Amino acid sequence: MQPPAVSTRAQAVLEDRELFIGGAWRGAHSGRHIDSLDPATGAVWARVGEADEVDIDDAVAAARAAFESREWGQCLPGERGKLLRRLGDLVAEHAASLAQLETRDNGKAIRETLGREFAVISEWFYYFGGLADKLHGETIPLSGDLQVYTVRQPVGVVGAILPWNAPALMFAWKVAPALAAGNTIVVKPAELTSITALALARLVQEAGFPAGVVSVVPGYGMSAGNALAAHPDVDKVAFTGEQSTARKITQASIGNLKRLSFELGGKAANIVFDDADHDQALAVALEAAFIATGQSCTAGSRILVQKGSYDRFVGEFVARAQRIAVGDPLAPETEIGALVSEAQLQRTEEYVASAIEEGAEVLCGGHRVRVSGCEDGFFYAPTVIARVRPSMRVCTEEIFGPVATIMAFDGEDEAVRLANDTPFGLTAGAWTNDIRRAHRLSQRLRAGTVWINTFRVVHWAVPYGGIKLSGYGRENGSEVMRSYTEAKTVLIDHRESRPSWFASSDEA
């Protein structure tokens, strides 16, 4: 474990980074920049180049050239693996400074960026580095004369479009498997949080990847993102973000029918049965609802508690939520930091106001928090809302703020019905000590991941992704390699001679 990071805000560092294209650093073609705000202060703390269509064209051309090159195109899988493991080592070595950058850019508490995220991000590069030379095809026994097998080949040039809520983690989730399979990749980070992707690009360079294998082009979604999604020479887009953006990407992608994989939002139910271990359920439910300031697609934002334990559970949950330390994200004692932007803060306020209007009751929170030394930051108190109905917006839409709703249910059927009553299907969780019920729930809950007696466990070796409006395709584990490779089928006929279909030509 690294030593705790110390605040550098007092040093008034202005990070200034450009675009990383084809192995070189350069300014945007337009000469324009994007200012990045520190969510803890609301002040500009960094600026990055603003890529447009021309820069995307250049990055895609560099990625295509690298894909076709001898150096990368014929690089042995084991060598790709070594490069990825070297990158993992560099990420681990620089974890403390990268976590600082992430916290400055995104507003998430340093105890999370350093203690949780950068504590493991290098593992993605190690795991997929290890997988690089284990991408086997199949042999298919048809007949003695015909040898049939498949090989897994890279899809080509990948465009990765990232969200702002976990910028470095999402970079690792996409870059590591894409490169393990032998693809090249153009990464467009979110306009609010491009800094760690650019910092990771420096490490890609230092690790020794050939030029053009990875490019990082910050820019806005409507211009750079759309250009990447529409580009005729991009073979696949891997996207994490809003479902409305996924629709636009789908439309942009139709020109060359590129492959798509989507990790979209979630509205996970976290179900607590009377027979559960309530101490554990409480602690984990609190974390699941409020970590990352609730800006997490895995947030356990819909808590369902069985009637027999509802009052006790809610009382204790609210008491603990009120004790959460909201504060300067760089301070090691801070438990939750700032929301990413004023817009996200206002969006959270609007959801809470809509719940009150619709007759719900705010049990705690429901207001901004003034943090000493960060008076202009985007802080909001952990908020618990009760007396909700499933049709209310706070129950159906993803808030992406520190807001949890809490509802009572009678029995298992009602819990399942409420849990599945959502257009999303990313994750769901339940707490029970009844082994039969645990197995039943794992079948009945409609989500890409079901957690029983735990929540929000995400691991490089475990497939992760959604159903319904939460997207399609899986990240992580060997499963993700399906979406970064194509199966090529090879049929070899061993026969020395064969009859012709056309008898007349045999006779001639």
Question: Of 133, 233, 242, 421, which one interacts with ligand NAD (CB under 6 A)?
Answer: 242
Tokens of 105: 């850019």
Query: Could you say which of 66, 95, 132, 166 contacts ligand NAD (CB under 6 A)?
Result: 166
> Pick the catalytic residue: 117, 263, 412, 475?
263
167 is a site residue for ligand NAD (CB under 6 A) = no
**424 part of the interface to ligand NAD, by CB under 6 A:** no
Helix residue spans in 421-499 (DSSP H): 435-444, 481-484
By the rule CB under 6 A, 245 interacts with ligand NAD:
yes
Residue closest to 483 by CA, chosen among 274, 240, 268: 240
**129 near ligand NAD (CB under 6 A):** no
Residues in the chain: 508
Residue 185: name the closest of 135, 140, 227, 238 by CA: 238
User: Residue 165, interface with ligand NAD (CB under 6 A)?
Assistant: yes
248 binds ligand NAD (CB under 6 A): yes
Does 50 contact ligand NAD by CB under 6 A? no
Q: Smallest distance from the beta carbon of 194 to ligand NAD, in angstroms?
A: 9
Is 249 among the residues that bind ligand NAD (CB under 6 A)? Answer: yes
Q: Is 414 in the site for ligand NAD (CB under 6 A)?
A: no
- Choices 15-23, 133-141, 264-272, 498-506 (CB under 6 A): range interacting with ligand NAD: 264-272
The C-alpha atoms of residue 223 and residue 52 are separated, in whole angstroms, by 6
User: Is residue 263 annotated as part of the catalytic site, yes or no?
Assistant: yes
Among residues 290, 299, 439, which one has the least CA distance to residue 369? Answer: 290
CA-angle at 105, arms to 103 and 107, nearest 5°: 50
264 binds ligand NAD (CB under 6 A): yes
Strands 403-409 and 383-386: what pairing?
A: parallel
Could you give the C-alpha distances from 371 to 142, 339, 349, 460, in angstroms and in order?
70, 13, 18, 35
Rounded distance between C-alpha atoms, residue 293 and residue 404, angstroms: 11
* 412 lines the binding site for ligand NAD (CB under 6 A): no
Does residue 241 touch ligand NAD according to CB under 6 A? Answer: yes
Query: Torsions phi, psi of 50, nearest 5?
Result: -110, 100
Among residues 50, 102, 297, 374, which one is catalytic?
A: 297
Is residue 188 a contact point for ligand NAD (CB under 6 A)? Answer: yes
Minimum distance from CB of 460 to ligand NAD (Å)? 14
**Identity of the residue numbered 449:** T
Nearer to ligand NAD, 159 or 182 (CB): 159
Please tell me the distance from the alpha carbon of residue 181 to that of residue 233, in angstroms, as a whole number: 18
Q: Is 162 in the site for ligand NAD (CB under 6 A)?
A: yes
Contacts with 3 (C-beta within 8 Å, 6 or more apart), sequence order: 96
Would you say 296 or 309 has its CB closer to ligand NAD? 296
Shorter beta-carbon distance to ligand NAD: residue 212 or 265:
265
| Binding flag, residue 293, ligand NAD (CB under 6 A) | no
Stretch that binds ligand NAD, among 71-79, 263-271, 273-281, 370-378 (CB under 6 A): 263-271
End-to-end alpha carbon distance in the chain: 80
SS3 108: coil
Q: Is 124 in the site for ligand NAD (CB under 6 A)?
A: no
Q: Which of residues 425-484 bind ligand NAD (CB under 6 A)?
A: 426, 466
Using DSSP, state whether 294 is helix, strand or coil.
Answer: helix
Minimum CB separation from ligand NAD for residue 229, in Å? Answer: 5
Cβ atoms within 10 Å, residue 489:
11
Nearest to 373, CA basis, from 330, 406, 416, 407:
330
* 102 binding ligand NAD? (CB under 6 A): no
Helices (H), strands (E): how many in the chain?
18, 23
- CB-based closest residue to ligand NAD: 221
Placement of tokens 């479009």 in the chain: 161
Binding mask 200-239 for ligand NAD (x = CB under 6 A): --------------------xxx--xx--x----------
40 is written with which tokens?
């803890």
Tell me the site size for ligand NAD, rule CB under 6 A. 30
User: CB of 88 within 8 A of CB of 207?
Assistant: no
Nearer Cβ to ligand NAD (240/422): 240
Q: Which of residues 48, 161, 364, 399 is near ligand NAD by CB under 6 A?
A: 161
3-state secondary structure of 454: coil
Considering the complex, what minimum distance in angstroms separates the CB of residue 220 from ligand NAD?
A: 6
SS3 278: helix
- Residues serving a catalytic function are 263, 297
Interface positions with ligand NAD (CB under 6 A): 161-166, 188, 190-191, 220-222, 225-226, 229, 240-242, 245, 248-249, 263-266, 297, 398, 400, 426, 466
